[in-house]
């Protein structure tokens, strides 16, 4: 059997997302709006398969064929007859549920591959003897031959997502390196093109020179376009001695279905902001225009307090090894009025709270753009995973000048972050009851501060295309050096493009640090209903949770490549290092031996020193993070951040050794079963499923009842069209022959 870090255990937690009450409070029109937005999100979410690994679309298609023909109970009888044990069949169901839940065969949280926890030969018998194989023997056998080996392979390069020798990615063709990614980013910057909706494919011409295709996601390919500005960029270029071709049409059949349902949703929009937002999204996905998506995001920002909230597009860049390309994501949710009222009070206090952050006023936005901040119950979240909270849009220019929205996903928090005392690791016994009681409430506070005042704070010093600066070069002083500002963002440069591989983690670290720093404020805690001893317990558990998370983060560090696979967890490890460095016994991490005789560890936080030792240390660190970000000082930012993110076996913590302990005692992230909506006549019905691997599989089997076979054909066709980009030279030659 495979190493446990590359499998999903049979007893993995599975929870169903409950949004029944919020859904039933919607009007018939609001339900229709939510339904069509959900359909758009689910169709677009299938593009994540093509953004993850070469084999992911084939694995999904194979599973889809199996379970569309026989449900999990029916297939179980066949599997047992083929000689599988109950445990082996359950392992297969968990694997299939994992593929659906992560939209691919790599974990969305950690980017680690997972493989079936049963013998390949047994799974082959189940697949080739299934009803699906009897009905379509050639198709099913071809699918198995295409993805069977890769499904189980754990050769070193395939264990993690990454670029070049560091891992596998389908944002770039297999022969691309980090140098290619940097060259492509420089090219995109030179043409004022965003990388968010692109992939990069590299070929070699007859003279052995590299040729690059930058492919935009869109419905249209070579057809005439209404957006003449974008059309003019669809051509060949010579750049720094290399040939670039800008094309479009990536994921076209899937995006066509997205557009179809966005068009239908427009008929049920609540106001003109929603209508114009959807019109711009439609143009963006049709044309391949990020500028149109930005325009849609502007209308989205202006749509304050909607009953049905949604966002869709190529959003988060966590899984691009270079840090610039967005994964497709779409969510639809309904407002939770009770928690939203608390967040609204936090928004009302935001301008005052921003003044408490440890950087000069010149490093803060010229004007705080009051955002929407709501707690939502999720109906649909399509993509590779569901976060606890969101601060979007991610476009720097919009965030700086027009604003953003904050979203806390209440029903996700309720199931994904629930804590059972008996499963708690790495804590002192006397902390466990307190932690269990206050983990949820403290996380509400942290998410609120993280999203609103973490991601929502700070100014980027920039010079526009006309040479105009958004800060006074004569008077603004760098508080770290005492000198005038020496660096800034030039026209076309963004936070992601400039800081690239560390951008996501650095920003998450800054936001987490803001949350820890401001949760010490009594005004914040009163907003959430905490005073006196309860408030002190919330603070303690929030800080304790962060240092424990920093230790748990070691699971997502790869010693062989000396890199991190998950931005949020790297950020939490960095904060742990900062607080350890503060000294005076504020935080200690002590290796021990557990009651089972195996290695263990304990994290201790001295609550009496949080304000006297922890706060000053966090203040210094947070100021440095912001100053380096504001000034676009990549060299300084990398030196600071990568220094803290380094994992060594230096005493007293010996983090490399502790990593083995973390892996030994890790608990797998829960799988979440989401509902479906179905249109019956003019009414929308909510379809819910049991909290099990089989329930999660059924939710996907029923997700595309009208066009499941068509989608399977689309996914395999799109994957096959680009398969040569991930074959070895010898495989490519065989394929050409």
Binding residues for Zn(2+): 450, 455, 508
Stated as kind and residue range, the H or E segment containing 377 is: strand 372-382
Stated as kind and residue range, the H or E segment containing 200 is: strand 198-204
From the list 201, 168, 200, the residue with the least C-alpha distance to 561 is 168
Would you say the C-alpha torsion 700, 703, 706, 710 has a positive or negative sign?
Answer: negative
Please give the backbone phi and psi of residue 56, each rounded to the nearest 5 degrees, phi first: -55, -45
From the list 541, 552, 633, 618, the residue with the least C-alpha distance to 579 is 618
In angstroms, the CA 343 to CA 345 distance is 5
CA distances from 405 to 278, 337, 374, 625 (A): 17, 16, 8, 23
In the numeric block, which tokens belong to residue 729? Answer: 């030279």
Residue with tokens 């987490």: 512
In angstroms, the CA 560 to CA 558 distance is 6
Q: Are 370 and 403 in contact (CB under 8 A)?
A: yes
In angstroms, the CA 51 to CA 1 distance is 28
In angstroms, the CA 591 to CA 602 distance is 6
Q: Are 371 and 403 in contact (CB under 8 A)?
A: yes
In angstroms, the CA 542 to CA 203 distance is 50
Q: Residue 115: which residues within 8 A CB-CB, separation 6 or more?
A: 2, 6, 7, 95, 105, 151, 152, 153, 154
Q: Are 202 and 195 in contact (CB under 8 A)?
A: no
Q: Is the bond leading into 652 cis (omega within 30 degrees of zero)?
A: yes
Stated as kind and residue range, the H or E segment containing 603 is: strand 599-605
In angstroms, the CA 257 to CA 250 distance is 13
Q: Residue 23: which residues within 8 A CB-CB, separation 6 or more?
A: 31, 34, 334, 377, 379, 686
Q: Label the pairing between strands 198-204 and 14-16.
A: unpaired
Query: 165: which DSSP letter?
Result: G
Cα Rg of the chain (Å, integer): 25
193 half-sphere exposure, CB direction, 13 A CA radius: 30
From the list 472, 505, 526, the residue with the least C-alpha distance to 571 is 505
Q: Is the bond leading into 152 cis (omega within 30 degrees of zero)?
A: no
Q: Are 358 and 622 in contact (CB under 8 A)?
A: yes
- Residues known to be catalytic: 451
Q: Are 460 and 489 in contact (CB under 8 A)?
A: yes
Label residue 557 exposed, middle or buried (CB < 10 Å: 0-12, 13-18, 19+): buried
In angstroms, the CA 52 to CA 60 distance is 12
From the list 97, 75, 53, 47, the residue with the least C-alpha distance to 700 is 97
Q: Are 126 and 49 in contact (CB under 8 A)?
A: no
Stated as kind and residue range, the H or E segment containing 692 is: none
Angle at 570 between CA 41 and CA 614, to 5 degrees: 120
In angstroms, the CA 61 to CA 713 distance is 8
């Amino acid at each position: 059997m495979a190493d446990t870090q590359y499998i999903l255990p049979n007893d993995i937690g599975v929870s169903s997302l409950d949004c029944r009450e919020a859904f039933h409070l919607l009007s018939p029109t609001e339900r229709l709006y939510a339904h069509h937005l959900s359909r758009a999100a689910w169709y677009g979410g299938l593009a994540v398969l093509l953004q993850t690994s070469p084999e992911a679309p084939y694995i999904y298609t194979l599973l889809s064929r199996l379970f569309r023909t026989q449900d999990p109970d029916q297939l179980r009888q066949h599997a047992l007859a083929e000689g599988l044990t109950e445990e082996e069949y359950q392992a297969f169901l968990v694997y299939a549920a994992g593929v659906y839940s992560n939209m691919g065969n790599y974990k969305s949280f950690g980017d680690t591959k997972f493989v079936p926890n049963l013998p390949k030969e047994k799974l082959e018998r189940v697949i080739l003897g299934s009803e699906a194989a009897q009905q379509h023997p050639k198709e099913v056998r071809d699918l198995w031959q295409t993805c069977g080996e890769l499904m189980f392979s754990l050769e070193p390069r395939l264990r993690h997502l990454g670029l070049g020798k560091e891992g596998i990615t389908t944002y770039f063709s297999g022969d691309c390196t980090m140098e290619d990614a940097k060259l492509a980013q420089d090219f995109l910057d030179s043409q004022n093109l965003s990388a968010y909706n692109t992939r990069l494919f590299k070929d070699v011409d007859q003279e052995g020179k590299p040729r690059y295709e930058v492919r935009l996601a869109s419905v249209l390919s070579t057809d005439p376009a209404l957006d003449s500005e974008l059309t003019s960029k669809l051509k060949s270029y010579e750049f720094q001695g290399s040939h670039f071709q800008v094309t479009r049409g990536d994921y076209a059949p899937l995006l066509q279905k997205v557009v179809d349902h966005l068009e239908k949703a427009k008929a049920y929009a609540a106001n003109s902001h929603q209508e114009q937002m959807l019109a711009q999204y439609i143009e963006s996905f049709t044309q391949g225009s990020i500028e149109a998506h930005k325009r849609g995001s502007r209308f989205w920002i202006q749509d304050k307090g909607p009953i049905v909230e949604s966002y869709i597009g190529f959003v988060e860049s966590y899984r691009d090894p270079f840090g610039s390309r967005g994964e497709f994501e779409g969510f639809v949710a309904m407002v939770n009025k009770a928690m939203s009222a608390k967040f609204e009070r936090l928004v009302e206090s935001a301008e005052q709270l921003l003044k408490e952050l440890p950087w000069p006023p010149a490093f803060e936005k010229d004007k705080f753009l009051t955002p929407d901040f709501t707690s939502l119950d999720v109906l649909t979240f399509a993509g590779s995973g569901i976060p606890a909270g969101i601060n979007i849009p991610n476009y720097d220019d919009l965030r700086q000048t027009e604003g953003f929205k904050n979203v806390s996903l209440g029903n996700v928090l309720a199931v994904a972050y629930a804590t059972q005392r008996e499963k708690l690791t790495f804590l002192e016994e006397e902390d466990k009851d307190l932690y269990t009681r206050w983990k949820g409430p403290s996380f509400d506070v942290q998410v609120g501060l993280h999203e609103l005042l973490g991601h929502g704070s700070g100014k980027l010093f920039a010079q526009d295309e006309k040479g105009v600066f958004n800060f006074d070069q004569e008077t603004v002083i760098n508080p770290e050096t005492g000198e005038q500002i020496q660096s800034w963002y030039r026209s076309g440069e963004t936070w992601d493009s400039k800081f690239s591989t560390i951008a996501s983690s650095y920003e998450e670290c800054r936001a987490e640090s803001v949350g820890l720093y401001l949760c010490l404020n009594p005004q914040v805690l009163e907003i959430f209903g905490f005073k006196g001893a309860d408030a002190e317990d919330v603070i303690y558990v929030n800080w304790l949770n962060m240092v424990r998370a920093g230790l748990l983060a070691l699971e997502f560090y790869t010693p062989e490549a000396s890199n991190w696979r998950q931005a949020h967890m790297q950020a939490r490890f960095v904060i742990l290092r900062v607080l350890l460095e503060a000294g005076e016994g504020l935080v200690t991490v002590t290796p021990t031996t557990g009651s089972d005789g195996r290695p263990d560890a304990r994290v201790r936080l001295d609550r009496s020193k949080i304000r006297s030792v922890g706060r000053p240390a966090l203040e210094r660190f947070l100021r440095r993070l912001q100053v380096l970000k504001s000034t676009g000082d990549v060299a300084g930012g990398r030196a600071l951040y990568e220094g803290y993110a380094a994992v060594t076996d230096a005493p007293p913590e010996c983090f490399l050794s502790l990593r083995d302990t973390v892996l030994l005692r890790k608990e797998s992230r829960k799988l979440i079963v989401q509902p479906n909506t179905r249109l019956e006549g003019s009414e929308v019905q909510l379809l819910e499923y049991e909290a099990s691997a089989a329930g999660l599989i059924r939710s996907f089997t029923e997700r595309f009842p009208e066009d499941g076979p068509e989608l399977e054909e689309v996914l395999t066709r799109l994957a096959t069209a680009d398969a040569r980009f991930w074959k070895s030279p010898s495989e490519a030659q065989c394929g050409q022959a």
